[in-house]
Amino acid sequence: MDSIVEQKNSTPYESLQTRYENALQTLCARVLAEPYNFYQVDAAIVPKMLSDGGVHGRVILQAQKDFRKSRQYTPQSIAGALNISTSDLFNMANKDHEIDLPFAFELFVEHFGRKVEMDIARETEGHLWNGDTSEKIKIKADKRRQESGLSARVMGSDGREEFEAELIAAMKGEMPDYPIKPPITNMRKHIPFHEPGEYIIIGGRTGMGKSFAGLNYIHNSSKQGIPTCYINLENTPKNIQKRIWQMESGLEFRRDMSKMADWEFQVAGEAWDRVQKMPFKSHHTGRSVNVILNTIRQDYYERGIQLAVIDYIQLMRDIQFKGNRPAEISEISAEVRSLCLDLKIPLIALAQIGREAEKSSDKRPGLHDLKGSGGLEEDAATVIFPFRPGYYEITQDENGCTYEEDYADWCVAKGRDVGLSLTECRFNHILGFHDKVEASNFPTSAPPTDFTVPISARPSNNEPIPF
C-alpha cells in the first residue's frame, strides 16, 4: 500500500529513475547468472552507459573486462576483483529468473534511453531560459546523448584490427600456432592447425569410425592440457571415458581384469590417473539444438574450452522448425557455424553419410553424400572423410597396390584455406585412428612404465566397432 502511495506521489522523473534502477539491477543479475550468454551483449555495452550505475554498473563492467580478457568470468572472480562479498553477488544473481540476459539488456537500454531523454528535456528548459538558439540546443542535446553512450553503441568488429595484427606478424615472419591440431601427425603437413572459429565436418558411414575420429581430436588436445567438450548424442558419458582411457592406455577394457599381468595393472592405473587430469567433459544433453549450443557456451565461459565436438549433427533437432528435414538440418548447421564464429573456437560436427556412397566401386564418399542437407557442405570450412577400405573388404587401391591390414586414411574433401589432401594412417578398435607404428615398436614382453602403444592384437577388418 505504501509503495502505491509513493508511486502516485512521485514525480515523472523519480518514477523513471526508479524504473531505470530496477532495469539496471535486473541486468546485473542476469550478467552474473548467465556468463554463457554474455557474448550476445558484450559489443553493445558501452562503459558510459554504466558510469552512474553504482555497484551494479561496476559489476557489469568488471564482467565485460574479464570476458574480453579471458572469454570467461564467475561471481567469485568478479567479487575478488571488486572486493565485494561473494554472497552479495550470489544474492544479486538470484533475481528475475523469468527473463534472459539479452532481453534484460534491451530492457535496460530502453529505460536508460528514457532517463537520458528526461535529463536532456530538463537541461533544455535551462538552455531556453538562457536564450540559446534551437540549433545550439540541438547540438547540446546530441552531445549529451553521445556522452551517455546512446550514440556510441558498437554492434561488432569489422575484423580490421584482427587482420592488421595478423598482417604485421606475417611481415615479421611470425607464424601463428593455434593449439588445436589434427591428431594424425602426417596430416599437419596440410593442416598445421585449426583456426579459431573454424567449422569442421567429419563425415562417415556407420562403422567407418567417425566417432573415433572425434574422440581422437578430444584425446590429442586434452592430453596437452587444452580444455575440450564432447557432446555425445548416442553414448553415455561413462562409455566416452572408457574410450579415452583405452586411447591413453593402449589396453582394451575387459569386464574381468583380475587376470591381467602386473605390468598391465600398472599401465591401466597410470593411464587412468592421466585421464582424470585431462580437462575434457562429455555431455549427454538430449537432442535439442538450443540445449546443445547453450551447453557448449556454458562450458566455454566456465572452463574456457578451445574445442567442441558434436556427435553427430543429424541427431540434433530444432523443435521450433516446421519445415522439411533437410531444411531443418541446414538451419541447425547454420546455428552451429554461428556459434563457433561467436566463441572463436574450432567446432567439429560429426555427420552421417548417405548409403549412396556405398554404390561407388571404391566406396569413397564425396561432399554430395553428406546426409540430409547440402547446407553442411556449404557452411563448413573443412570437410574430412575418414576411410577404412578393410571395412568393405577392399584389399587393393586403384593402382593395384595392396592395402595393409589396418590401413586407413583421412581425405580432406573441402579445405577453404588449406586445399584438398589425403593422409594415410592406421586404425584399430582401441586407439581409433593413429599414425603408422613400425612393427619393431610393438612390445613383445612387459612394456616400460611410459608405454602408450596398443598391446592387444589388432581386430579383423570386418570386426564391428562400438560406434
- For the stretch 121-133, pLDDT in tens is 777 766 667 766 7
Mean pLDDT for 24-51 is: 83
Beta bridge partners of 307: 228
The pLDDT of residue 60 is above 80: yes
pLDDT of residue 142: 65
Q: Which domains does the chain have, with CATH numbers?
A: 2-148 (1.10.860), 185-441 (3.40.50.300)
pTM for this prediction? 0.63
The pLDDT of residue 442 is above 50: no
The pLDDT of residue 358 is above 60: yes
pLDDT of residue 213: 92
159: left (phi over 0), alpha (psi -120 to 50) or beta: left
262 contacts 316 by C-beta, under 8 angstroms: no
pLDDT of residue 159: 63
pLDDT tens-digit series, residues 70-120: 778 888 889 889 888 888 888 888 776 777 888 888 888 888 888 877 777
Give the amino acid at 297: R
Model confidence at 69, pLDDT cuts 50, 70, 90, reads confident
248 contacts 452 by C-beta, under 8 angstroms: yes
pLDDT of residue 349: 92
The pLDDT of residue 443 is above 60: no
The pLDDT of residue 256 is above 80: no
Rounded to the nearest integer, the mean pLDDT of the chain is 78
Mean pLDDT for 314-340 is: 82
Residue 37's Cβ-count burial label (10 Å; 0-12, 13-18, 19+) is buried
The pLDDT of residue 448 is above 50: no
The pLDDT of residue 464 is above 60: no
Mean pLDDT for 362-373 is: 74
42 contacts 106 by C-beta, under 8 angstroms: no
pLDDT of residue 182: 92
pLDDT of residue 157: 52
Mean pLDDT for 280-297 is: 83
Buried b / exposed e along 432-459 (16+ C-beta atoms within 10 A): bbbeeeeeeeeeeeebeeebbebbeebb
